[in-house]
Amino acid sequence: MATRRIVATEKTFLDKDDPIDETSSTAPAVPSHVIYKLLAFTFAMIVVPIGSYFLTVNTVFNGKSLLSFLRVTTQTNAAQATLLSLVVWLLSWPM
């Protein structure tokens, strides 16, 4: 069987250079408005639940007994979960 010999002056497929006219892209992979939205909602996911808990426990639901404490804790956690759901819902909205 005859096989083809590679001539030393001939470049193989792996030795061929890429075309020079291609330019590399320096644009970021993710647009900046997406990063800002992600940072804003990350901040909201942390601040809104904790802030709503302390706001409601100190101003809306005042109580001194154990039963009122359990009721206050349940109600503030419900308010916290509602506000957190609102933040997640707003995150899914298109910009």
pLDDT in tens, 44-54: 888 888 887 77
Q: How confident is the model at residue 19 (pLDDT cuts 50, 70, 90)?
A: low
What local confidence, expressed as pLDDT, does residue 39 receive? 92
Using a pLDDT cut of 90, give the percent of the chain over it: 2
- CA torsion 8-14-17-23 (nearest 10°) is 180
Q: What is the mean pLDDT of the chain?
A: 76
Q: Which residue has the higher pLDDT, 43 or 21?
A: 43
Q: What angle do CA 59, 62, 68 make, to 5 degrees?
A: 145
Full-prediction pTM beyond 0.75? no
| Radius of gyration, alpha carbons of the chain | 31
